[in-house]
Amino acid sequence: MSPLQPRFVRLAETDRPTVTIAVDGASVEALEGDSLLVAVLTRAGHLRHSEFGPEARAGFCLMAACQDCWMWTHDGDRLRACDTPVRAGLSVLTQPPDMPWPNRV
Amino acid sequence: MAEPRVIIVGAGPAGVRAAETLVAAGLRPTVVDEGRRDGGQIYRRQPEGFARSSAELYGTEAARAEALHATFDDLRPKIDYRPGHLAWNVADGHLHVVHDGSAEALPFDAMIVAAGATDRLMPVKGWQHAGVYSLGAAQIALKSQGCAIGRRVVFLGTGPLMQLVAAQYRKAGAQVVALLDTSRLWHQIRALPKLVSRPDVLAKGVGLAASHLLAGTMVRRGVTPVEIFGDADGGVSGVGVRLVSGRDLRLACDAVALGYHLRPETQLADLAGCDFTFDAATRQFWPVIDEDGRSSVPGIYLAGDGVRIQGADGAEIAGQLAALAVLADRGRSAPTEQISRLRQQRRAMERFRAGISEAFPWPHHLAAGLAEETVVCRCEGITAGELRAVVHDKGADEMNRAKALSRVGMGRCQGRYCGHAAAEVVAAATQLSPAVVGRLRGQAPVKPLAIRTRRAAP
Amino acid sequence: MSEPFRTDVIVVGGGIMGAAAAFFLRRRGKSVALIERALIGQQASGTNFGNVRRQGRFLPQLPLANRSRDIWGRLNELIGEDAEFLASGHLRVTYDDEMTARIETYARDALPYGLDLQIIGGNRLRERFPFLGPEVRAGSYAPHDGHANPRLAAPAFGRAARREGASVFERTEIVAVERDAGMFRVEAADGRVFRAEQLMIAAGAWGNRLSEQFGEPVPLVTHGPQMAVTEPIPYALEPVLGVSTTKLEETVYFRQVKRGNIVIGGAARGPASADTQRASVKPENTLLQFTQITRVVPALARLNIIRVWSGVESYLPDDIPIMGPSAKVPDLYYAFGFCGHGFQLGPGVGDVMAELISTGQTTTPIEPFSIARFASAPA
Ligand SMILES: Cc1cc2nc3c(=O)[nH]c(=O)nc-3n(C[C@H](O)[C@H](O)[C@H](O)COP(=O)(O)OP(=O)(O)OC[C@H]3O[C@@H](n4cnc5c(N)ncnc54)[C@H](O)[C@@H]3O)c2cc1C
Ligand SMILES: Cc1cc2nc3c(=O)[nH]c(=O)nc-3n(C[C@H](O)[C@H](O)[C@H](O)COP(=O)(O)OP(=O)(O)OC[C@H]3O[C@@H](n4cnc5c(N)ncnc54)[C@H](O)[C@@H]3O)c2cc1C
Ligand code: FES
């Protein structure tokens, strides 16, 4: 599967208002009530990369227990994608921001 | 006597019934739950604005779900409900919670921990790839977000939840490629004498198993998981297992739901200092409780799947019993008849629980056969080979030692998902029982805690 | 009953002091039994912060610290692994002029001991360490100090000692020690007996329990320094950072490991019990650390901690250890009661004690640490 291919498939509840967020700078249409994880994975194949292996990661438990789904914001903040609801204007990165994290204030 | 301060952690079936029982006795308990909404795991409420009916969401359990939700809605004005509050630590008679970056220490005279369960996992080579999810995750994606975890989903593992979630997926219109079950039919047959203690649930289970066959879904039992194929960028591309016949089966898919039944969330009990004991049948350590849920620490009560995996009905009973125990220990009159009836029901639940763990056994033998390069700890990327190396080269024959030397279980999830399997890898490598190898000691915080967190203004 | 186990030297206590001493004693040809109640390095030596820091120490301790620092840099060649020692540099920062004056004085005074500290202030400090918060005034930078992994160091010394021929007994608690007929007799809880001409007590926070059996009690108390660690994030904080202050709650320190986690300590002490062998972290202390570390590096506020822990650390009233020969019993040696700086000293202590035990003297001055200073203390 290409990393750009969506991973999740919507089977129900598609009748919700849309919300626009940004993932790695690209704008993504999500639905109100989506978790950030679902919003990203219905448009892409992963959320982040493992710190200690070559592989992309896309979450594992979806119940805030495994901590596999932490994404970055442009400011260097961390968000746990599976229990963060989307809101309009949210902008996240699948990689750490370019500038080393401690130098951003 | 001053009204005792009682805290309940968890607003699932156990927590809700505990709260109801305390309110009925005139108390106003504090109910802390990390989730934004009540219901817990099985009766998880979907976000506001979602439209599916209870029947669609909870199937045969819709009536129970509605009853629990209604009970909780009634309780709301009579309790101090703290949704979105993570209980991150417990010390010196205080539960430490954090909500939106603000921390509070809640004093208690008694605390009922009803923290529920998470999936129990046995690693398989390749399970770190994107697209491999826990079985529970597969269900949550559907229940709470209306999504399938992929286009073609393989269910790998064992347990009643696997049968259920696969059926829910099929019904919702997802493509279920196969159910690859490590348990054998004779496990289930052998467990029948215990499983008949809850004939209705047994019948549902048999019905679920039959539904897969009727639908023509591929079901293979007694499989040995070999590998989840995939690549670093694209994630999962297939699953390989060895069949009972010795033949290899390889299936293409883009998602795997992996799980081997459940394990209790025991961190808070551990931090509160509760004694643990090794259960030889399920090969895990769990907190010691009496028949009402009293732990070894006075004032700490444990209920629901967070202490024994008895399922939702068992959780409701355990929640009531724990609350009644609190009341009795606080000198309130105890309704002896109700207690003995609940205890009797609980014994049936306990018998059924034991039956389920025999019917869908934890495949501990797989640990010995994990290929060296298999990732055991997904957080830290620690392989079976690295773990065995600290056993063989550095003499680590105890779990916390193996953790200290290899980093297994040192990651963000605190060993929730690798702890049991890592203990089996160490046990196999040392030829010791996991009872001797021990368990990872619980350490706060229960979940990651933001450094931004500040004490709430008093 | 079986024959006593016989060696030249018995070392009781398998923390970094005992394990390193056993290794260096073997290097000097002594036969050694290293006896540990639980597992090598499981107590303070395995739970500490991992600072390999010399600056800020009691000045007369610097020769010992220097000798130890030299060994840290040669671990690979000595014991075959480096315990993740990283000479990352160590920066102590100040919040006010008074403390800045103090670190300047310390830098001057430490120079004759061979410790080259750079005092950096104002813009130069921010250019070099752009992540420092606005409250930071100045810093004292020690380019050759650094950090190592405490979980690995003492066990590595233990294994190296064993490879060199030491007899290592884990899960063996010593309950009785005595000297009779010119020999030490050391008895374990399970009845096993060990005998040797020389005995070294390296029992950490429990050293007092053995020294008092020789009529040399010391007023030792225990505390649990409070530790925490963050999730892994890209490696970007090079030096170990610490605050130079007189206020306990401001005394925080942290370091990032190459894998990415940031280890945090300080701001308060927690309960530690020699009896239960456990120390714990008070939740309020974790929150206090958050407030204090973000004063030093504000960007830390964006991260999460994933684990806290503590360890049983021993303190004597003057905050310096007991090290050297017994003041009463010939051939008896002590090295225990090391407070917040014992990890850095460990390899050096092992080397010096081995020298002392096998030659009767040492080239590194250790007189200030003699147990004799408590000889008149009430028992
Ligand atoms: C993913 C998953 C899916 C399941 N699906 C089914 C199913 O379909 N059918 C079935 O019969 N059984 C299912 N189970 C089993 C199910 O957990 C139980 O039957 C039932 O939900 C147990 O109720 P409980 O009250 O013990 O715990 P739960 O319902 O799990 O409730 C526990 C609650 O505690 C909260 N909590 C836990 N720790 C903390 C903390 N530190 N701070 C604050 N809050 C906390 C959680 O947010 C949760 O709301 C599932 C279990 C899991 C893990
Ligand atoms: C949390 C924490 C943070 C610290 N941070 C730092 C730091 O950053 N830098 C630094 O330099 N220092 C630090 N220290 C101090 C340092 O860890 C200690 O000074 C040092 O490890 C002491 O080593 P030790 O071998 O004397 O003691 P220990 O490591 O405690 O070893 C003593 C051993 O003796 C054994 N023992 C005791 N009694 C008996 C008996 N009767 N029979 C058999 N065995 C026995 C014990 O089981 C134990 O393993 C810290 C300490 C703690 C607890
Ligand atoms: S997917 Fe497990 S914590 Fe988010």
Q: Would you say the CB of residue A71 lies under 6 angstroms from ligand 3?
A: no
Which residues in chain B have their CB less than 8 angstroms from residue A45's CB? 130-131, 233-235
Of all helices (H) and strands (E), which one includes residue B242? strand B235-242
Q: Would you say the CB of residue A101 lies under 6 angstroms from ligand 3?
A: no
Residue B49 reports pLDDT greater than 50: yes
Task: For C205-245, write each residue's pLDDT tens digit.
Answer: 999 999 999 999 999 999 999 999 999 999 999 999 999 99
Q: Would you say the CB of residue B13 lies under 6 angstroms from ligand 1?
A: yes
CATH 1.10.10.1100 placement within chain B:
364-437
**Residue C138, class by beta-carbon neighbours within 10 Å (0-12 exposed, 13-18 middle, 19+ buried)?**
buried
Of all helices (H) and strands (E), which one includes residue B55? helix B54-58
Å from A16 to nearest chain B CA? 7
Dihedral class, residue C145 (left if φ above 0, else alpha if ψ from -120 to 50, else beta): beta
CATH topology of domain B364-437: Arc Repressor Mutant, subunit A (1.10.10)
- At residue C371, the pLDDT reads 98
- At residue C122, the pLDDT reads 85
Pick the closest to residue B66 from B99, B97, B92, B43 (CA basis). Answer: B43
DSSP code at position C15? S
Which whole number is the average pLDDT over B386-394?
A: 97
**DSSP of B111-123, one letter per residue?**
EEE---EEE----
Whole-number Å distance between alpha carbons of C261 and C105: 33
- At residue B321, the pLDDT reads 98
Task: For B150-191, write each residue's pLDDT tens digit.
Answer: 999 999 999 999 999 999 999 999 999 999 999 999 999 999
Show the low-confidence residues of chain C (pLDDT under 70). Answer: 1, 376-379
DSSP code at position B331? T
| Mutation test residue for ligand 3: of A46, A79, A82, A92, the one with most atoms within 8 Å of CB | A82
Length of chain B equals 458
Look over chain B and give the mean of its residue pLDDT values, rounded to a whole number.
96
- At residue A4, the pLDDT reads 67
Length of chain A equals 105
Are A13 and B144 within 8 A, CB to CB?
no
Please name the residues in contact with C252: beta carbons below 8 A apart, sequence gap of 6 or more. C242, C243, C264, C265, C266, C267, C289, C292, C293, C296
Are B444 and C310 within 8 A, CB to CB?
no
Are residues A102 and C297, on separate chains, in Cβ contact within 8 Å? yes
* B47 preceded by a cis bond (ω within 30 of 0): no
Are C66 and C114 within 8 A, CB to CB?
yes
Place of tokens 């070999």: B226
Whole-number Å distance between alpha carbons of B93 and B138: 37
Which residues in chain B have their CB less than 8 angstroms from residue C290's CB? 451-454
Q: Which residues pair with C188 in a beta bridge?
A: C174
**DSSP of C155-180, one letter per residue?**
HHHHHHHHHTT-EEE-S--EEEEEEE
Residue nearest to ligand 2 atom 14, measured at CA: C340
Residue A3 reports pLDDT greater than 70: no
Which residues in chain A have their CB less than 8 angstroms from residue B408's CB? none
Q: If you measure CA to CA, which chain C residue comes closest to B96? A: C283
Residue B1 reports pLDDT greater than 80: no
Are A93 and A71 within 8 A, CB to CB?
yes
Q: Which residues pair with C184 in a beta bridge?
A: C179, C196
- At residue A1, the pLDDT reads 56
Whole-number Å distance between alpha carbons of C23 and C165: 9
CATH topology of domain C90-143+222-315: D-Amino Acid Oxidase; Chain A, domain 2 (3.30.9)
Q: If you measure CA to CA, which chain B residue comes closest to A65? A: B413
Which residues in chain C have their CB less than 8 angstroms from residue A77's CB? 302
Are residues B451 and C301, on separate chains, in Cβ contact within 8 Å? yes
- At residue C379, the pLDDT reads 44
Q: Which ligand 2 atom minimizes the distance to the CA of C46? A: 29
Length of chain C equals 379
Q: If you measure CA to CA, which chain C residue comes closest to A97? A: C234
**DSSP of A32-79, one letter per residue?**
TT-BHHHHHHTT-S-SEE-SSSS-EE--S-SSSSS---EEEETTS-EE
> Confidence band (pLDDT; 50, 70, 90) for A105?
low
H-assigned helices in chain C: 16-27, 44-47, 62-72, 75-79, 97-110, 122-128, 150-163, 207-211, 283-296, 342-359
Structural domains in chain A, CATH included, are 18-93 (3.10.20.440)
Pick the closest to residue C208 from C379, C27, C58 (CA basis). Answer: C379
- At residue B234, the pLDDT reads 94
Are residues B405 and C152, on separate chains, in Cβ contact within 8 Å? yes
Residue B218 in tokens: 């591929």
Residue B98 reports pLDDT greater than 70: yes
Beta strands B175-181 and A26-31, pairing class: unpaired
- Stated pTM of the model: 0.96
Q: Would you say the CB of residue A40 lies under 6 angstroms from ligand 3?
A: no
CATH 3.30.9.10 placement within chain C:
90-143+222-315
Whole-number Å distance between alpha carbons of B86 and B33: 6
Are residues C290 and B454, on separate chains, in Cβ contact within 8 Å? yes
Are B453 and B98 within 8 A, CB to CB?
yes
> Confidence band (pLDDT; 50, 70, 90) for A44?
very high
Residues 238-257 of B with CB under 8 A from A: 254-255
A65 near C CB under 8 A: no
Amino acid C346 reads G
Residue nearest to ligand 2 atom 37, measured at CA: C203
**DSSP of C27-93, one letter per residue?**
HTT--EEEE-SSSTT-SHHHHS--EE--TTS-GGGHHHHHHHHHHHTTHHHHHS--TT-B---EEEE
| Mutation test residue for ligand 3: of A7, A38, A69, A78, the one with most atoms within 8 Å of CB | A69
Whole-number Å distance between alpha carbons of B431 and A102: 46
- Where are any strands of DSSP class E within B21-162? 30-33, 80-83, 86-91, 94-99, 102-107, 110-113, 117-119, 132-134, 147-148, 152-158
Q: Would you say the CB of residue A99 lies under 6 angstroms from ligand 3?
A: no
CATH 3.50.50.60 placement within chain C:
5-49+151-219+317-374
DSSP code at position B262? E
Which whole number is the average pLDDT over B8-36?
A: 97
Beta strands C252-256 and C262-270, pairing class: antiparallel
- At residue C338, the pLDDT reads 95
Amino acid C197 reads E
The CATH number corresponding to B121-260 among 3.50.50.60, 3.20.20.80, 2.60.200.20, 3.40.50.300 equals: 3.50.50.60
Task: For C7-45, write each residue's pLDDT tens digit.
Answer: 999 999 999 999 999 999 999 999 999 999 999 999 999
A104 near C CB under 8 A: yes
The shortest CB-CB distance from B133 to any of A45, A60, A67 is to A60
Place of tokens 């901690």: C305
| Mutation test residue for ligand 2: of C69, C313, C333, the one with most atoms within 8 Å of CB | C313
Which residues in chain B have their CB less than 8 angstroms from residue A9's CB? 147-148, 150-151, 174
Please name the residues in contact with B184: beta carbons below 8 A apart, sequence gap of 6 or more. B221, B222, B244
CATH 3.50.50.60 placement within chain B:
6-118+263-356, 121-260
Ligand nearest to the CA of B417: 3
**DSSP of B156-172, one letter per residue?**
EEESHHHHHHHHHHHHH
Whole-number Å distance between alpha carbons of B227 and B373: 11
- At residue A104, the pLDDT reads 66
Å from B130 to nearest chain C CA? 19
Whole-number Å distance between alpha carbons of C204 and B204: 60
Pick the closest to residue C91 from C107, C77, C78 (CA basis). Answer: C107
- At residue A60, the pLDDT reads 98
Which residues in chain B have their CB less than 8 angstroms from residue A66's CB? 134, 378-379, 412-413, 416-417
Are A42 and B146 within 8 A, CB to CB?
no
Which residues in chain C have their CB less than 8 angstroms from residue B401's CB? 39, 42
Q: Would you say the CB of residue B306 lies under 6 angstroms from ligand 1?
A: yes
CATH architecture of C5-49+151-219+317-374: 3-Layer(bba) Sandwich (3.50)
ipTM comes to: 0.96
Task: For B245-282, write each residue's pLDDT tens digit.
Answer: 999 999 999 999 999 999 999 999 999 999 999 999 99
Task: For B215-232, write each residue's pLDDT tens digit.
Answer: 999 999 999 999 999 999
3 state SS of B380: coil
CATH topology of domain B6-118+263-356: FAD/NAD(P)-binding domain (3.50.50)
**Residue C248, class by beta-carbon neighbours within 10 Å (0-12 exposed, 13-18 middle, 19+ buried)?**
exposed
Are residues A78 and C304, on separate chains, in Cβ contact within 8 Å? yes
Whole-number percent of chain B with pLDDT over 70: 100
